[in-house]
Structure 1
């Protein structure tokens, strides 16, 4: 999914993307010494205020804090972890001294305040503004001190301060983007690539990889072909496409755990997909174990809810049978009045149990998942018609047709879930596209967002998971392992737990620390 649209639909995280072109490299030439990364989507914006990579990994920008691979937070532009007041409503950061933007200007508290104020300004219509709604104001009492005043205690605030900082007065559109990260912007060829160069004055040390090209190729097979042909030095690939690189001496394949799931988003105002019996029966019938074994080539695990079992926030009651239970699904449909018709497809009140399941046409993994869903659905009498479309065709149909979607974050459970399931976001682009509306879920999400007591927050999110599972708002299919193919051997590569968005996060978040192995 396009990152821009996901952030227009997601509170999270990760840098905005649009449909990308897979044409041969065009525009400005690629430097001979450049390290070229093949990405599946193009950045729709390079401005953090407008949603570019707010959870880190942008490479151009630096936030107050950054994330280690184990998800712990460490200071970046901040000199140390912040100080929080006893009531949880005031959070104070002290800035690291001597840090400068790429244009030579010093990074000051006024720049930090400007960045957050621009993001919160309704007139700017930032797609991630809702993620920062707990902030009442940001003050810069002196050049080295930043004070956040909150409307209520907000436990994830420190995690949100990975947002990249821009110089005071920076326009929200246009280029060149100026940050304080390990790489400077050089050029951008729309539909093709972004060229970066190492920031020799980066506060944590100049990158060993001095030239970086982020090349865009939406089609999985094209990306794999260009990687094999030597056009890319690294690429993110689906498991099957990456299998050809296993055992090759010139590349290293990394399979990284993630909280990134794929599932079926149901339009809940439609007569068939709006019937919980249909949704729950489908969830029972699907053989997720087979999906992991065949479609993911083992690089993943079955999914039954929106919170990964690899995180501390997961509710262990939200689980199921990996192989599915088609017989239980048939009984559920029978009890719900869906009777088998002459062609084997179930009917109730003259309406067939049928719906369209969309997926992005260039995404081979989602295509195979859609086909597997259709096969399992037919076995219980539900006719699912897969449809491969581009995102421009998919987006206006999400209130009418189901969609293989991807989301997921290993960070705080406020991430992603608030926008995906709160009724206040219903129908806002890729936010809550199925138009789910459950007052108790709204209450739990609000409690989880605003409570200062960790135990209260935990209970809210455990209960939230149970309700969305019982309502079968989505049918969750698999959690992925992200597969990175990297030419040669490098030190400094630190796998962790990935979020849904790749962008230049994941393994690439630390590419400024990579060095060729001796």
Structure 2
């Protein structure tokens, strides 16, 4: 027997597929709320920020940690990390690496020697040194984080401002820009070295980032950013319309551009490295995972849900310049003979609609499936440590060089379904936001943002 679990809607297993796809899914979750959410039923009066007020920026869900090398680190973690931690290089929206902490680099085949900016310091005033870089490389090597540091076999501090790396690396700048954050080697978690520092964190609600006057880069950040954690896309859009959010990382969804325009908001989007994918748990074999993937009609999902906001992924490592070419050896799968659980984050409108589609299509092939939308604070939080579901539908960012090895689905831990547009949305009173579909995320240029306060 197949089952759909939700607080407010329980479709039967024989629903017609298009009816399933075109039905709006509920915002309810299977868990009680965590943290506080602004009400969404008050009057539509706009509360525009005054000059000097923080810019309120919304994310869907809440990261379990702000440490990008923790086992529960997510894309949300990395997006915030970009604002508070440096890296030797950074990625602009088209994936081009640019120097940040690196003053100079000499490359000789498998060796690279990097000179650090001698003006770099931590938010407590102590110098940022090669020792911090080496300690960060060690931490990244010991995790499963998508950091470029993991591609480097050795690192050593030559002197306080010089680091020597070794590794079989094709592009050193891109590798050192790919989520290779520099964290303090011996300081507490509040010590940072980005354009912003952490002023306050309220679990379940927000983290407040204020400009760091000791930041070594240019330009200096101008505005304090209140990063708000939002539970649903509906809530996010309502808060933007009412002026209770000033900008947001707006998830792609059906008719996203039209809905943003109708709300009087501005937006920037890019089709690049963001994907929607199936992530498989350890309970399914490789053949069973392939069987699940083969049972899905991605063409129907693309035409009814993704539409012009994306395209089908045609490689296991999607990228802007890898838009064609077949999957390799993802065939001959065996449908699971036991009931499997499929989950997606509640509140993400597109992913919960895709959850319905996956449920209906698997059920039509006689795969026993239990589907359930999960509280996004849990889905993007503690479930990153131990996801109990057999299949989860997730968004994932990427970057140049991430997954460059040949498509080898032997493990098939992740199966990309679609490449989708990455949006950043803002009210007219805010200037500067620009979408970045790489791992650097929407706060990549937050130091350039300004607010006119509605004037």
| TM-score bucket (shorter structure) | 0.7 to 0.9
Report the Cα offset of residue 20 of structure 1: 8.7
How many pairs are equivalent? 400
CA distance in 1, matches of 2:414, 2:146: 25
Say if 2:452 is the partner of 1:512.
no
**Residues 204 and 249 of structure 1, relative CA distance in 2, 3 Å threshold:** farther
Quote the residue 1:376 is aligned against: 361
- Counterpart of 2:108 in structure 1 is 85
**Larger C-alpha radius of gyration, 1 or 2?**
1
Q: Residues of 2 paired with 1:108 and 1:395: CA distance?
A: 32
1:73 counterpart (84, 97, 106): 97
- Structure 1 pair 21/229, CA: closer, same or farther in 2 (3 Å)? farther
Greater than 6 Å deviation, 4+ residue runs? 392-397
Give the Cα–Cα distance (whole angstroms) in 2 for the partners of residues 274 and 249 of structure 1: 46
Q: Is the counterpart of residue 303 in structure 1 residue 317 in structure 2?
A: no
Normalising to structure 2: TM-score of the pair? 0.73
| Cα distance in 2 between the residues matched to 1:169 and 1:516 | 36
Aligned-residue offset at 1:365: 1.8
SS in 2 for 1:359: strand
Given that residues 263 and 405 in structure 1 are in contact (C-alpha distance below 8 angstroms), is that contact kept between their aligned partners in structure 2? Answer: yes
**Structure 2 vs 1, CA of residues 242 and 231 (structure 1 numbering), >3 Å: closer, same or farther?**
farther
Deviation at 1:91, TM superposition (A): 1.7
1:374 and 1:384 in contact (8 A); partners too: yes
Deviation at 1:488, TM superposition (A): 1.4
Helix, strand or coil: the match of 1:367?
A: helix
Name structure 2 gaps, 5 residues minimum.
1-31, 40-48
Mark the runs of 5 or more structure 1 residues left unpaired by the alignment. Answer: 1-18, 320-328, 339-350, 415-457, 500-504
1:166 aligns with 2:183: yes
Which residue of structure 2 lines up, in the alignment, with residue 37 of structure 1?
A: 57
RMSD (Å) for aligned C-alpha atoms = 4.0
CA distance in 2: counterparts of 1:63 and 1:396, whole angstroms: 25
More helix by share: 1
Higher relative contact order (CA 8 A, sep 6+): 2
- Asked if structure 2 preserves the Cα contact closer than 8 Å seen for 1:60 and 1:180, the reply is yes
Aligned 8 A contact 2:241 2:263 in 1: no
1:358 to partner: Cα distance: 2.2
Q: 75, 97, 122: which is aligned to 2:118?
A: 97
Contact 1:165 1:179 in 2 (8 A): no
CA distance in 1, matches of 2:273, 2:429: 26
**1:386 counterpart (355, 371, 374):** 371
1:397 to partner: Cα distance: 8.5
TM-score normalised according to structure 1 size: 0.65
Q: Superposed, which structure 2 residues align to 1:47-446 within 5 Å?
A: 47-50=67-70, 58-80=82-104, 82-86=105-109, 88=110, 90-120=111-141, 126=143, 128=145, 132-133=149-150, 135-148=152-165, 150=166, 152-155=167-170, 158-162=173-177, 163-171=180-188, 175=189, 177-207=190-220, 209-238=222-251, 239-240=253-254, 242=256, 245-248=259-262, 250-266=264-280, 269-270=283-284, 274-275=287-288, 278-279=291-292, 281-283=294-296, 286=297, 288-296=298-306, 298-308=308-318, 310-312=320-322, 316-318=325-327, 355-390=340-375, 391=378, 401-414=390-403
Distance in 2 (CA, whole Å) between partners of 1:265 and 1:357 is 10
CA distance in 1, matches of 2:448, 2:339: 51
